[in-house]
């Protein structure tokens, strides 16, 4: 009888988002679970976002940061703070986020609107002027490229940060995907006329071909890095790529000698 009742409750849970919300609310209220700090994502735009990352990308990056719990994130490109706030919501309480921008309005926004959070530091200088001292000589565990969108500037930046990367650092590069014409809104049409993107075929448009070239350059010149691409042409997707040093997972030390750079 109790098993049947529980099954009915579960069936209601799987079928009703209202019931899911109620169960979640009471789970937090009763201390059974904790809040997850994702409410901000309800207001992030998806299909027509140009500039900030898209909502679904923010969800993915939120989940990755929550999973990794990095101590230090460096972001190139604050703009209006969408990605920065998303990182802060996902970061552990002892984490730090250093965000670079050169635009006067973005810097004012960062310094006035984000001063509530001691984990956040705005660095008002170009990504190409990165110095380890900017980030208090910490090692970078997660870095997000979303600023200059130019191959040369990104290569210079990479060369400056590479010795500050933690051994298992993750590098995220935004805008590496292709837009499919079938999903264009008017602002995407306008973008293709105003900015120097590149048509790769009749339907596929590289809105930031410099970012794509940057990923290929890292992998070609630093073959020790492997890349994964979070791209889709089934929707309008800016896309991002994740890179990390290739490595073996550490095994039981008593059985095998361990490679010095294995990952726990």
Ligand X SMILES: C[S@@+](CC[C@H](N)C(=O)[O-])C[C@H]1O[C@@H](n2cnc3c(N)ncnc32)[C@H](O)[C@@H]1O
Q: What residues make contact with ligand X under the rule CB under 6 A?
A: 51-53, 76-80, 82-83, 100-103, 106, 126-128, 146-148, 153
Q: Which is nearer to ligand X, 89 or 247 (CB)?
A: 89
Q: How many CA atoms lie within 13 A of 40 on its CB side?
A: 16
Which residue has tokens 């999973």?
67
Give least dist CB 36 to ligand X, A: 20
Query: 203 with 20: CB under 8 angstroms?
Result: no
Q: Which is nearer to ligand X, 23 or 50 (CB)?
A: 50
Give least dist CB 103 to ligand X, A: 3
Q: Which is nearer to ligand X, 89 or 168 (CB)?
A: 89
- Kindly state the tokens that stand for 29: 């209220």
Give least dist CB 137 to ligand X, A: 20
Give least dist CB 246 to ligand X, A: 27
Give least dist CB 245 to ligand X, A: 24
Q: Which is nearer to ligand X, 141 or 146 (CB)?
A: 146
**H-helix segments, the chain:** 2-15, 17-29, 55-68, 82-90, 104-113, 151-161, 186-194, 209-221
Q: Which is nearer to ligand X, 106 or 209 (CB)?
A: 106
Give least dist CB 229 to ligand X, A: 18
Give least dist CB 49 to ligand X, A: 8
Question: Do you know the residue count of the chain?
Answer: 264
Distance CA 38, CA 122 (A): 23
Q: Which is nearer to ligand X, 76 or 214 (CB)?
A: 76
Q: Which is nearer to ligand X, 133 or 223 (CB)?
A: 133
Distance CA 179, CA 143 (A): 24
Paired residues of 228 in beta bridges = 242
Distance CA 176, CA 87 (A): 20
3-state secondary structure 51-114: CCCCHHHHHHHHHHHHHHCCCEEEEECCCCCHHHHHHHHHCCCCCEEEEECCCHHHHHHHHHHC
């Amino acid at each position: 009888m109790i098993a049947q009742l529980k099954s009915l409750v579960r069936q209601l849970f799987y079928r009703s988002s209202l019931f899911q919300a109620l169960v979640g609310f009471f789970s937090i209220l009763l201390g059974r679970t904790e809040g997850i700090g994702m409410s901000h994502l309800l207001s992030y735009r998806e299909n027509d976002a140009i500039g900030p990352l898209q909502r679904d990308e923010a969800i993915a990056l939120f989940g990755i940061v929550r999973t990794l719990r990095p101590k230090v994130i460096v972001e190139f490109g604050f703009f209006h703070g969408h990605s920065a706030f998303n990182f802060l919501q996902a970061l552990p309480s002892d984490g730090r986020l250093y965000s670079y921008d050169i635009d006067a309005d973005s810097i004012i926004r960062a310094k006035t609107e984000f001063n509530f959070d001691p984990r956040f530091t705005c660095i008002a200088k170009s990504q190409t002027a990165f110095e380890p001292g900017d980030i208090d000589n910490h090692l970078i565990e997660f870095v997000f490229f979303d600023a200059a969108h130019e191959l040369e500037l990104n290569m210079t930046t990479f060369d400056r940060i590479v010795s500050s990367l933690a051994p298992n650092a993750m590098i995220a590069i935004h805008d590496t995907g292709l837009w499919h014409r079938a999903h264009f809104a008017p602002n995407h049409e306008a973008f293709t006329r105003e900015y120097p993107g590149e048509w790769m075929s009749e339907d596929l448009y590289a809105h930031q071909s410099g970012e794509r070239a940057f990923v290929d350059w890292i992998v070609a010149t630093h073959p020790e890095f492997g890349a994964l691409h979070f791209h889709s042409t089934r929707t309008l997707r800016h896309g991002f790529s994740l890179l990390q040093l290739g490595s073996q997972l550490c095994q039981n030390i008593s059985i095998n000698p361990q490679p010095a750079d294995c990952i726990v």
